[in-house]
Amino acid sequence: MKKTELLKILREAKDYISGQQLCEHFGVSRTAVWKMIHQLQEEGYKIEAVKNRGYRMREIPDVITAQELVSRLKTKWMGRPCLYLEQVDSTNNYAKKIAEEGALEGTLVVAREQTAGRGRRGRSWTTLEDVNIMMTLLLRPKIRPDSASRLTLLMAMAVACGIRKVTGLEALIKWPNDVVVDAKKVCGILTEMNTEIDYINYVVIGAGINVNQKEFPTEIQDTASSLCIALGENISRAELMAAVMEALERFYEIFLKTQDLTELYQEYNTLCVNCGRQVRVLEPGHEYIGTAVGINKNGELIVRRENGEQTLVYAGEVSVRGVYGYV
Q: Residues with Cβ < 8 Å from 256, sequence gap 6 or more? A: 141, 142, 143
Give the per-residue pLDDT at 155. Answer: 98
Q: Do residues 215 and 192 touch, judged by C-beta distance below 8 A?
A: no
Given a cut of 70, the residues of the chain with pLDDT beneath it are: 1, 117-127, 325-327
Q: Which strands sit side by side in the sheet containing 310-313, from one edge to the other? A: 310-313, 301-305, 286-295, 278-283, 317-320
Helix (H, G, I), strand (E, B) or coil at 182: coil
Give the per-residue pLDDT at 125. Answer: 53
Give the per-residue pLDDT at 117. Answer: 63
Helix (H, G, I), strand (E, B) or coil at 213: coil
Give the per-residue pLDDT at 295. Answer: 98
Give the per-residue pLDDT at 325. Answer: 62
Angstrom distance (rounded) from CA 303 to CA 278 = 9
Give the per-residue pLDDT at 327. Answer: 43
Give the per-residue pLDDT at 111. Answer: 95
Burial class (CB in 10 A: 0-12, 13-18, 19+), 51: exposed
Give the per-residue pLDDT at 230. Answer: 97
Q: Residues with Cβ < 8 Å from 11, sequence gap 6 or more? A: 57, 60, 71
CA proximity to 272, closest of 259, 286, 261, 256: 261
Domains and CATH numbers, the chain: 3-59 (1.10.10.10), 66-271 (3.30.930.10), 278-320 (2.30.30.100)
Give the per-residue pLDDT at 123. Answer: 54
Which residues on adjacent β-strands are paired with residue 134? 208
Within 10 A of 49 (CB to CB), how many other CB atoms are there?
14
Burial class (CB in 10 A: 0-12, 13-18, 19+), 26: middle
Q: Which helix (H) or strand (E) holds 44?
A: none
Q: What is the pLDDT of residues 259-279, one digit of tens each?
A: 999 999 999 999 999 999 999
Give the per-residue pLDDT at 127. Answer: 63
**Do the strands 82-88 and 108-114 form a parallel or antiparallel pair, or are they unpaired?**
parallel
Within 10 A of 237 (CB to CB), how many other CB atoms are there?
25
Burial class (CB in 10 A: 0-12, 13-18, 19+), 214: exposed
